[in-house]
Amino acid sequence: MHTIQSRVVDGLRGQAASLPFSFVYGNRSSAECLAAWPHGVDSNRIDDGRVRHMRTWTDPRSGLRVICEGIEYADWAAVEWIVHFENVGKDDTLVLEGLKSIDLATDAGSEGPVLHHAKGSAGEFGDYQPLATPIQPGQTVNLHSHGWHTCTSGDEPSGSPSVESMPFFNLQTGSEGLIAALGWTGPWTAEFARVSEGGVRIRDGMDGLHLKLRPGEKIRSPRVLVLFWSGDRIDAHNRWRRLLLEYYSPRPGGRPFEGLIAHCVWGNWMNAAGHIADMEWYVQNDLPVDCYWMDAKWCGEADGEWAAHQSDRKPNPDLFPDGIRPVSDAARQHGMKFLLWFVPNSVYPGVDIARDHPEWVGEPFSDKIFGDQVFYGLDHGDPEVNAFMIDYYARIIAEYGIDVFRVDGTHIWPRSSDPDRLGMKQIRYNEGFYAFWDGLLERDPDLLIDNCGCGGRKLDLETIKRSAILWRSDSQASHEFDPASSQGMTYGLSLWLPLHAAAVPLSARFGPYALRSGYAPAMVLTWAGGKPADVRERIDVDVFRRILREYLAVRRCFTGDYYPLTPYSLDADRWLAWQFDRPDLGEGVVQAFRREQCREETLRCRLRGLTAEADYDVTDPDTGTVTRMSGGDLMIEGVQVALKECPAAGIIRYKKAD
């Protein structure tokens, strides 16, 4: 067993004093406090692959109880933990601060540690760029995501977990390492300090906690998942992907999410009859779209302030005189799911919920990124408000006939005015936010939640458990974007998350290159110019049909193992290639992209993860040629992709021979 793995597992089991988290209580370290307090441990088996460990400590003087709930994944060399704090005394506790949900020390390795991490979604061309940062002796590498704001204390009224950085990392120390993720839909900070030639200390957690708990109060901390690995780093990422698919992914209807092809339009681009005619165009042309996506501007006034618009959940009567239901019913009649856009936590004075409950309207909030716009939020941390929101949106989902509930917007929790309660509002808000999503999923087990969050800015361990990521970045909101941006996002994000959608610009860029750049576990077809009918005259329907059918034939591969086959690059003079492999099905797919300024016409791709002794039938869909090759030859000699034009996208399919 991995040395650090042994220390963490023994600590969670109660067999060692070391623990993978830390905090400061009453100016004393958690190590000092917990060593002195009475404690207990209880373990029980969840199923054949998981064991839960509950460790509890109680301060006999102040009444602070600390509960660490750990889950051991024996078959995965992985552990999860979450720490709760409860005041079981009669008075306020001392100050709890400096909470680090991850506090681990590991060897640096003979080759020196390298931190593998990724940019978040800042609405930029290079969102999710993979990064590798060597940590030199005496150096500290700092990561964070504040989400547009410079958060220095827990009372900041907003924040997002995947803007500046993703809350996922892989610390490699030679031929071993650990992959970790944080489950907290708010701001966080992390530091990786090489304290000496022989060690690295990892400290990661929510930003700015400083609070006293009142009698009877109980709070939770960020959730943590760690997978320990040895051997090949990319193989470790694939074990991570499999672990997330098994235990940390949405299951609408109790089944794994199998992807979709969504046709994305805004609500005000046409009236109800126009939307129905829009979906009929796909059916008439035998185009296999299985989700009709109605984004913003379907509700409220057609021309009004954006903050007021997103706070109104009533359909625009000029566009939808009979409501939304005729459109959603038509979608299902045509074999499509129906997706509808919301910003559930947004309110605006005098509009919809705020008209009936003005006392729930939060303080005005703005940021320079929003210009002069002012927003107001509902507080998920208020139990009365949150219970109302669950009932309210569950009713809308049922009445409107929503299959995919699209959640946009940023979090806005109330600012704390008490210096000894910093972070409390944020904690309560996140607890309520998770309860809100769980409540909707409990009311409608078939529901799929689309976690937009301003375009990929709410990606963390808690949200990916409950939702799919169908819109990765608002950098593509113009629908006229360079397909290379989708390539880069799929390349970077697939190392960390197995379920997400890629966008395709159906504009002047239409063609196999743009469409194949959108291959991922799900695909979103975005139309430029305001109305799809205005663009369709440029669309070659036969090409469109052929490529969509090709995508459906390989879609199941994109939840398999992922292997980058070239270095990451967004440069216009480079190739980019990857492989997705389904060892359980004995098949996979290779994609290679020759960008518009790339001079090289060929790329040799050496595959990975195959059975060396087995034979595979290798197919080029563009030429129809089928070649039988051994797995060993495919991994050593590789397969050549030749593209005479640029930009162009090649695809190679392979399947284990009978």
Q: In this structure, are 495 and 632 located in the same domain?
A: no
- The predicted pLDDT at position 300 comes to 84
Q: Which of 342, 438, 337, 426 is nearest to 381 (CA)?
A: 426
pLDDT at 66 over 90: yes
Residues 644, 632, single domain; the answer is yes
Co-location of 51 and 117 in the same domain: yes
Q: What are the C-alpha distances in Å from 397 to residues 311, 312, 332, 447? A: 16, 15, 15, 9
Q: Among residues of the chain, what percentage have pLDDT more than 90?
A: 86
User: Would residue 136 count as lying in a domain?
Assistant: yes
Query: Domain range holding 617?
Result: 561-656
CATH number for 648: 2.60.40.1180
Residue 151: predicted pLDDT: 47
- What does the pLDDT read at residue 253? 97
What is the pLDDT averaged over residues 431-456?
A: 98
Over residues 54-76, the mean pLDDT reads 97
Q: Where are the beta strands (DSSP E) in 39-101?
A: 39-47, 50-58, 64-73, 78-87, 96-100
Q: Which three-class secondary structure state does DSSP give residue 191?
A: strand
Residue 25 lies in a domain: yes
**What is the average pLDDT score of the chain?**
94
Q: Report how many domains make up the chain.
A: 3
Which pLDDT value is given to residue 259? 97
Non-local (6+) Cβ contacts of 303 within 8 A are none
- Higher pLDDT, residue 527 or 201: 201
Q: Do 398 and 511 share a structural domain?
A: yes
Exposed e or buried b per residue across 297-317, where buried means at least 16 C-beta atoms within 10 angstroms of its C-beta: bbbbeeeeebbbbbbbbebbe
Q: Averaged over 348-361, what is the pLDDT?
A: 94
Determine the average pLDDT of the residues in 103-117.
92
Q: Which of 226, 247, 268 is the last residue of a domain?
A: 247
Contact between 118 and 491 under an 8 Å Cβ cutoff? The reply is no
Nearest to 34 by CA among 66, 81, 75: 66
Helices then strands, counting H and E runs in the chain, come out as 16, 36
Q: In this structure, how many other beta carbons lie within 10 angstroms of the beta carbon of residue 566? A: 15
pLDDT at 508 exceeding the cut of 90: no
Show the tokens assigned to 9: 């597992």
Query: What pLDDT score was predicted for residue 42?
Result: 97
Distances (CA, A) of 144 to 53, 168, 177, 605: 30, 11, 21, 35
Of the candidates 247, 252, 238, the one whose C-alpha atom is nearest the C-alpha of residue 52 is: 247
Question: Does one domain contain both 530 and 603?
Answer: no
Q: Are residues 639 and 528 in the same domain?
A: no
Counting Cα atoms < 13 Å in the Cβ hemisphere of 362 gives 27
- Note the maximum CA span of the chain: 77
pLDDT of 431 above 80: yes
588 and 455 belong to one structural domain = no
Query: Other C-beta atoms within 10 Å of 364: how many?
Result: 12
Q: Which of 18-32, 62-76, 297-311, 403-417 has the lowest mean pLDDT?
A: 297-311
Residue 433 falls inside a structural domain: no
Range with the poorest average pLDDT among 141-145, 206-210, 366-370, 639-643:
366-370
Return the pLDDT at 148: 56
Domain end position, chosen among 247, 280, 295: 247
Using DSSP's 3-state secondary structure scheme, residue 305 falls into: coil
pLDDT of residue 149: 53
Average pLDDT over residues 377-394: 97
Q: Where are the beta strands (DSSP E) in 364-489?
A: 376-377, 404-407, 421-422, 448-451
SS (H, E, C) 554-612: HHHHHHCEEEECCCCCCCCCCEEEEEEEECCCCEEEEEEEECCCCCCCEEEECCCCCCC
Dihedral-angle region of residue 401 (phi above 0 means left; psi in -120 to 50 means alpha; beta otherwise): left
Task: Please report, for the domain that includes residue 338, its CATH number.
Answer: 3.20.20.70
366, pLDDT greater than 90: no
Give one word for 127, left, alpha or beta, with left for phi > 0 and alpha for psi -120 to 50.
Answer: beta
Higher-confidence residue of 30 and 415: namely 30
Q: Is 555 left (phi over 0), alpha (psi -120 to 50) or beta?
A: alpha
Mean pLDDT score, 61-78: 97
Distance CA 43, CA 54 (A): 6
For residue 378, tell me if it sits in a domain. no
Residue 279 CA: distances (Å) to CA of 231, 282, 331: 49, 5, 7
Report d(CA 129, CA 439) in Å as an integer.
34
**What angle separates helix 325-333 from helix 383-400, to the nearest 10 degrees?**
60
Which DSSP state fits 299?
Answer: B
Residues 129, 53 share a domain: yes
**Statement: residue 302 has pLDDT above 60:** no
User: Are 89 and 144 contained in the same domain?
Assistant: yes
Of the candidates 382, 90, 402, 118, the one whose C-alpha atom is nearest the C-alpha of residue 217 is 90
Domain contains 416? no
* Beta bridge pairs of residue 581: 561, 588
Of the chain, the end-to-end C-alpha distance in Å amounts to: 38
**Using CA atoms, how far apart are residues 382 and 295, in angstroms rounded to an integer?**
28
152: confidence class by pLDDT, cuts 50, 70, 90: very low
Q: Of 506, 530, 531, nearest to 517 (Cα)?
A: 506
Q: Which DSSP string do the residues of 326-374 spell out, in sequence order? A: HHHHHHHHTT-EEEEEE-TTEEBTTBTHHHH-GGG----B--GGGTT--
Confidence of residue 530 (pLDDT cuts 50, 70, 90): low
Q: At residue 8, does pLDDT exceed 80? A: yes
Task: Assess if residue 521 is contained within a domain.
Answer: yes
Amino acid in position 392: Y
- Exposure of 64 in the CB half-sphere (CA atoms within 13 A): 23
Residues 473, 455, single domain; the answer is yes
Laid out side by side, the sheet with 421-422 consists of: 28-29, 22-25, 96-100, 210-211, 421-422
DSSP-derived secondary structure for 468-483: B-----GGGTTS---H
Q: Above 50 in pLDDT, residue 331?
A: yes
Same domain flag for 519 and 611? no
8 Å CB contact between 598 and 574: yes
Phi, psi of 369 (to 5 degrees): -65, -25
pLDDT at 77 over 50: yes
Q: What residues contact 645, with CB distance under 8 A and at least 6 apart?
A: none
Same domain, 195 and 281: no
Which of 229-238, 413-422, 529-538 shows the lowest per-residue confidence on average (mean pLDDT)? 529-538
pTM: 0.96
User: Which of 558, 587, 607 is at the close of a domain?
Assistant: 558
Q: Distance between CA 97 and CA 533 in Å, rounded?
A: 57
Confidence of residue 154 (pLDDT cuts 50, 70, 90): low
- DSSP label at 165? B
Asked whether residue 364 is assigned to any structural domain, the reply reads: no
CATH of the domain at 97: 2.70.98.60
Q: Is residue 355 part of a domain?
A: no
- For residues 624 and 633, give the distance between their C-alpha atoms in angstroms, rounded to a whole number: 21
